[in-house]
Structure 1
């Protein structure tokens, strides 16, 4: 009985993180896409600003 319970508990523990990871993996990319675009947009003009004065200078 104890061995069977331990096997079930181990499988449940493995399934729980896998299910959580799958649930998190689905919303994570959706949240990461807009988050990455937000910092990339300000970074692009910031890089162009110093490059613009550097080129003519």
Structure 2
């Protein structure tokens, strides 16, 4: 028996302790994720400079 209805794409919510291998495995299933990040992470938009995520 299937746990999810046909065509349903889950969105997994993960704590900051999960690392890239976990997210790659989720992506390999064709699923989406939201992952909490720690305050030491950096991000950038397009070609802009890296900035702290706080």
Q: What TM-score does the superposition give when structure 2 sets the normalisation length?
A: 0.22
Greater helix percent: which structure? Answer: 1
Tell me which of the two structures has the higher relative contact order, counting C-alpha pairs closer than 8 angstroms and 6 or more residues apart.
2
User: So what's the TM-score if we normalise by structure 1?
Assistant: 0.22
Over alpha carbons, which structure has the higher Rg?
Answer: 1
